[in-house]
Amino acid sequence: MGFSQRNRTISSGSEASAASRKLRPHVVNLSGGTFSSTGAFTTTKKDVDAIFATHLPAFVAEHGGVVPVVFYAHGGLVDEQSGLRIAATQVDWWKSNGVYPIHFVWETSLAGAITSAVGDWAQGRRGWLDDAKDRVLELAARFGQGQAIWGQMKRSAEAAPAGDGGARYVAEALGAYCAAHPDTITVHAVGHSAGSIFHSFFLPTALKAGVPAIETLSLLAPAVRTDVFEKQIVPLVGHGVESLAMFTMTEKLERDDTCLGAHGKSLLYLVRASFEPEEFSPILGLEECLRADPVLAGLFGLSGASGSPGVGGAADIIWSKTPSGPLTSRSTSTSHGGFDNDIPTMDSVARRVTGSSRIQSFPATRDLGDELWPMAGPAAPRPVGTHQALCVGINAYPGGDALYGCVADAEAWAAQFSIAGFAVRTLLDAEATRQNILLGLLDLVASSVAGDVLVFQYAGHGTYVDDLDGDESEAGNEETKYDEALCPIDFRDGNLIIDDDLGEIFDQLPDGVSLTAFFDSCHSGDGQRRLQLQPADVADLSAASAPHGRRARFIIPDEQTSRNYRAKRGAPARAGKRALTREVLFSACKPTEVAYETGGHGNFTVAASLLAVPSANRLTNAEFLAKVREAFSSQPRQNPDFNGPRAAKSRVFLGALVGGAGSVSAAGVTSAGSAAGGVAAGAGSGSGFGSGSATIPGAISALLDAAAGVGTGVGAGVGAGGIGAGGVAAGGIDPLAASAGPAGMAGSAGSRETDAAARALAAAAFLRAAADFIDG
């Protein structure tokens, strides 16, 4: 990753041409695994042929004896220009030591890509909680593009020595050379960081292509997964790979390193937490992963204390810092990116390659690491008591999955939250991808401070998926083991949001921050962790999703969606439950039920959103839930539920937990709220819609408008025989009694709380009667 001052750039014009000519015998440039035909430096099959037909034989003839040939694979932090700079720095040095170098420049460009993936998270915009910012950044990288970028890089490393890959052509040309010129060269490999991934696939291919042996393999801060390394390389140690050495930092130095200017540990920790499909996958270069793996602990002889030399193993491990000792086993790098320009490390590698202690020392270079990552800027102070909301609604699912009321639900909730003083962001339809939803929610949580009040609302499909990490094994769920999931717009590609994803974000809530979630979807009953509704139960309800007025918001996952999900998540790498649950969730139904939408809105949304404003800072969470359930009391299909810590039931609904304006204790809750408008609920009669009645969507919209303080409204009456709609009154709606039962028992205008409850009852009754009418 380093480079000398005289080789900082590959210049244009004649200078660039001269540099290119100098490097051409020593560089194989790859893009996506195949020979690169564009960019600053191209490679063709003829260039590779020239290396083994002309340049290497000339070097061997010049030096006589057996010449070491080293294949160098740089790390994943560099783009094409940086890879060429590394080659330009090293080529003359290797040649001065009698070694013929061949550099794979494989255009990973990971540094810039990661920076783009995490965006302003890497710029230190969040400075809110130093002891948690690493985890927030890891989640931002995981939920953003980090995994896709790293996965593409790994696919390039795997493709290069396979099929028509450029590295396979090199391996076959090398094998042919070894067969035609026996005992004239020895073959060696050096891989830095992600270069260890490259060599994990290139070296087996080279051996199969007829290369007699890889005399030495030197890995610098390797970023390859331990399972890949054990499958690809470990069986070759002593059987093709004759000598293996790894140079890496102790656990303490890894944790003292930084990357992205904000992440307080080395890149390997970020890779482990964010880039592999399985979160917290073991990585070869991390001491804790080596010691926890019996195969690798035995291979490297790791029975002593941390940072001690490996003793009795088949392979050597050199811990940085080791400034003294054997000349082949020294390293002083204190950063992940510093190994390839650390003089003791590079000199040790050269001595292993040449078999001689007398070498030309590596030239002093400058560490590029600080230039790769942006430095964190100062965090802007945050006012206490901010109210923020994220509202998500998805109708436009592809295929036959479309819904009709979710966008309207999100907009209705957004209107209510705005009235309650929240700054609201919405994600609707195409905007509501898995990445956008999770990063939006993470932004909500990570930018909060004690005293803030947060809301997350979701309306869309719910589903279930196989539990991959085993955390769902609990009462009532031992055998089936499913994770609940929300369905973003791109869920068919495997991009589901499971309860574990939400739990990881909710776990980052700073102390003193209130977060309330509202889920109007199926399987919303315990969105934090557990699914109780089984696939057979869901299948029995499939008729309810017919495209008419009443529609269940659930998806039965097909096999392709499940395969896509498993491929993106990988195999389980961890298990365990959340240590602490601080958020609260109001769900549209119990875990054993499905959520319905009718006439352009979710049934839960119509009832609950009307109560949000009058209940905020006035009722407890338990009292709010009671009011919502009252609106559903006459039908058993759907029963809204509450999930959260037991003590949270007595907290103030949408109230601040500490400090700030508007924070109150449960003891100080007033008994009633207020709404800006009223809904007329009167007795209705007849067998169907009267000639003056409003449409179902219009009536529901009017109900919501009334709760938002719109100057006109619709009075909806529900009777035993059908639905009637009252008139519109300018300036508001007179509060009438909500009908209940055959006689249409009349209520009266009382307290504001009673009015709000009556409006919710009327809305729910309207939806039930509408659904019953439609279903016949």
Please say whether the beta carbons of 444 and 418 come within 8 A: no
Q: Please tell me which residue, 675 or 283, carries the higher pLDDT value.
A: 283
Lowest model confidence (mean pLDDT) among 104-108, 133-137, 138-142, 678-682? 678-682
How far apart (Å, rounded) are the C-alpha atoms in residues 712 and 436? 36
Nearest to 604 by CA among 498, 457, 747, 720: 457
**C-alpha dist (Å) from residue 213 to 110, 180, 183, 219, 626:** 31, 15, 11, 17, 74
Q: How confident is the model over 214-223, as a mean pLDDT? A: 97
Confidence check: pLDDT of 313 > 90: no
pLDDT in tens, 346-389: 999 999 999 999 999 999 875 544 444 444 454 555 667 899 99
Distance in angstroms (rounded) separating the CA atoms of residues 594 and 443: 30
Whether residue 606 is predicted with pLDDT greater than 70 in this model: the reply is yes
**Using alpha carbons only, what angle is made at residue 294 by residues 292 and 295, rounded to the nearest 5 degrees?**
125
The answer to whether residue 725 scores a pLDDT higher than 70 is: no
**Is the predicted pLDDT of residue 617 greater than 60, yes or no?**
yes
CB 194 within 8 A of CB 157: yes
The pLDDT value recorded for residue 756 is: 57
CA distances to 390, 518, 717 from 454, in Å = 8, 11, 36
Among 132-146, 284-298, 370-384, the minimum mean pLDDT is found in 370-384
Encoded tokens for 673: 């709220």
Does pLDDT of 190 surpass 70?
Answer: yes
- Is 678 within 8 Å of 757 (Cβ atoms)? no
Name the DSSP letter for residue 740.
-
766 and 703 in contact (C-beta within 8 Å)? yes
Query: Is 177:52 a contact under the CB 8 Å cutoff?
Result: yes
- Band (pLDDT 50/70/90 cuts) for residue 315 is very high
298 pLDDT higher than 60: yes
pLDDT at 488 exceeding the cut of 80:
yes
pLDDT band at 530 (very low <50, low <70, confident <90, very high): very low
Does residue 594 or residue 624 have the better pLDDT? 624
Gap between the Cα atoms of 266 and 286, Å rounded? 10
User: Which amino acid is located at 91 in the chain?
Assistant: V
> Which distant-in-sequence residues (6+ apart) come within 8 Å of 23 by Cβ?
41, 84, 87, 88, 91
More reliable by pLDDT, 55 or 449: 55
Query: Highest-confidence range of 541-550, 627-636, 743-752, by mean pLDDT?
Result: 627-636
pLDDT value for 114: 62
Confidence band, pLDDT 50/70/90 cuts, at residue 121 = low
| CA–CA dist 45, 736 (Å, integer) | 85
Report whether pLDDT(566) > 60. yes
pLDDT of residue 120: 56
Asked if 640 and 632 count as a contact pair (C-beta separation under 8 A), the reply is: yes
- Contacts for 537 with CB less than 8 Å, ≥ 6 apart: 592
Q: What percent of the chain has pLDDT over 70?
A: 67
Helix, strand, coil in percent for the chain, rounding step 5: 40, 15, 45
Contact 314, 238 (CB under 8 A): yes
**For the chain, what is the mean pLDDT?**
76
**What percent of the chain has pLDDT above 90?**
42
Confidence band of 708 (pLDDT split at 50, 70, 90) = very low
Asked which of 121-130, 589-598, 717-726 is least confident by mean pLDDT, the reply is 717-726
pTM: 0.73
- pLDDT for position 449: 85
What would the pLDDT profile of 533-563 be if each residue is shown by its tens digit? 444 444 444 444 444 345 556 566 677 777 7
Which letter does DSSP use for residue 359 in this model?
Answer: -
Cβ pair 331, 322 in contact under 8 A: yes
Mean pLDDT, range 27-38, rounded to an integer: 91
Contact 354, 99 (CB under 8 A): yes
- Does residue 325 carry a pLDDT above 50? yes
User: Is 521's pLDDT higher than 90?
Assistant: no
Distance CA 635, CA 649 (A): 24
Kindly give the residue spans of alpha helices, DSSP state H, lying in 51-105: 56-63, 80-96
What pLDDT score does 113 carry?
A: 59
Q: Are 611 and 757 in contact (CB under 8 A)?
A: yes
Residue 590 is predicted with a pLDDT of 79
